[in-house]
Structure 1
Amino acid sequence: MGKSRKVLARRDILVSEVSGKVEAKEAVLAGSDIQITWIGPNNKGDYITIVPKGTDEKTYFNYTYTSNGSPLKLKEPDTPGDYEIRYVLNQSKKVLARTAIKLTKVSAQVKAPASVKAGTSFQVDWQGPNYKGDYITIVPAGAKEGEYLSYSYTSGGTPATLKAPVQPGNYEIRYILNQSRTALARTSIIIN
């Protein structure tokens, strides 16, 4: 009983290919959050991602799961250029749907005194996108991207207060984009 491997019934089934669609604005500011509307199977682990145009099918960058519903929000990279928003099937990593999007350049400004006394606090006026985690910092002149000394998050408003290094010399004030840790704006300052 129950050990027979005999087929008792059989029936043909039709397996059809799944389809999907993603929609977003054609152009937005680099680094912004955008709303994306999608249609698709919403399988467990399926996601919407953004990648530079022409990127390999299995590559992903910023993403959010389709289980978050439609429409959903997606954080755009802060590097301007031509990108694609893709609906990706988790199981096969197949791109089910895609749409082109252009990320446009965002700008910022920083204004600081020409010079300040070593070890003192000073204020920096700034304008910029104020994305989550962005900050204003002081670094030695010519420092590599990603370096920082005293800093203040832009979420604290303008002006930002920084503390001058104790070592005199030539420095830069920079507006830093949190996502890529790159300077969006900079100005020189002398520490006496």
Structure 2
Amino acid sequence: MRRFAAARFEARRLAAALAGALALACAPLPAQPQPRKPAPTATAPSLSASQRVMAGSPLAVLVGRVPDGARLAIARPTDPPATAIVVVALGARPSASLPTPGEAGAYELRLTRDQNGAPVILLRQSLVTTPPEATLAAPARIGRGQALPVRGIGPNGERDRVVLVPAGAAPEAQGPSFFPQENVEATLDGPDQPGPYELRYVMDAPVSGLRVLATRAVSVE
């Protein structure tokens, strides 16, 4: 009897083990993690530039993902897309330098291109220009024909110049000069004629045109 009972117990144990193995084999597999989809590649252009600069100074602009036929423009905020103070074509360049208006105020930097034969604004960014200022340094007196060491700092626009002219001359008067955008220091040839002269920082920017920002009296003896 004992052997028979032991055999029955062993048979039941094997049956239970087999049933457990079958249950595990039939159980659904755990869900496998799905691979992440790659993030979509950005295709929209981007615009990066200072939002506050001195009036008349150059504005460096960086454009990401430049569209074909894109242009950079500076306009008043209320100007329509076809109106601008400054326009620079980008071509394949990712950056450009734009001359800013010589009058202090609120403006707008725009990225534009033509669609259906008319300009449209793709991106815009506010731009505030502060009042332009300049400083000059030079000897107060020199001899006739003597070299004049000069230092001039201002908006340093592309067409700005530091010039030595007779005192009281018109803003567009010509004389020994240099361009501060290239170098803020230079040595000018002194006049051969004695008398009162004036060293000037002359800004030449959009909107303002020619404007004398700073003067320094120089006597030629």
TM-score (norm 2): 0.61
Native 8 Å contact 1:21 1:87 kept in 2: no
User: Rg: which structure is higher?
Assistant: 2
TM-score (norm 1): 0.69
Coordinate RMSD, CA, aligned: 3.1
Structure 1 CA distance for aligned equivalents of residues 146 and 129 of structure 2: 39
Structure 1 CA distance for aligned equivalents of residues 101 and 219 of structure 2: 30
Q: Which residue of 1 aligns with 2:198?
A: 172
Q: Which residue of 1 aligns with 2:148?
A: 122
Q: Which residue of 2 aligns with 1:76?
A: 99
Would you tell me which structure has more helix in proportion to its own residues? 2
Q: Which residue of 2 aligns with 1:10?
A: none
Q: Deviations over 1:42-79 (max 9, x none)?
A: 243x3120123434542223333343355x23313151
1:190 aligns with 2:219: yes
Structure 1 segment 128-167 matched on structure 2, within 5 A: 128-132=154-158, 134-154=160-180, 155-158=182-185, 160-167=186-193
Amino acid at match of 1:74: S
Structure 2 CA distance for aligned equivalents of residues 75 and 101 of structure 1: 12
Structure 2 CA distance for aligned equivalents of residues 156 and 99 of structure 1: 30
Q: Which residue of 1 aligns with 2:9?
A: none
Structure 1 CA distance for aligned equivalents of residues 158 and 130 of structure 2: 18
Native 8 Å contact 2:62 2:96 kept in 1: yes
Structure 1 CA distance for aligned equivalents of residues 183 and 65 of structure 2: 39
Native 8 Å contact 1:62 1:74 kept in 2: no
Name the CA shift for 1:62/1:156 in 2 (closer, same or farther; >3 Å).
same
Structure 2 CA distance for aligned equivalents of residues 65 and 28 of structure 1: 21
Structure 2 CA distance for aligned equivalents of residues 107 and 172 of structure 1: 17
Amino acid at match of 2:196: N
Deviation for aligned residue 1:21: 6.9
Structure 1 segment 36-51 matched on structure 2, within 5 A: 36-37=62-63, 42-44=67-69, 46-51=70-75
Amino acid at match of 2:53: V
Native 8 Å contact 1:139 1:147 kept in 2: yes
Structure 1 CA distance for aligned equivalents of residues 151 and 122 of structure 2: 46
Name the CA shift for 1:85/1:153 in 2 (closer, same or farther; >3 Å).
closer
Structure 2 residue runs without a partner (length 5+): 1-43
| Sequence identity (%) | 24
Amino acid at match of 2:152: W
1:95 to 121, 125, 128: 121
Deviation for aligned residue 1:133: 5.5
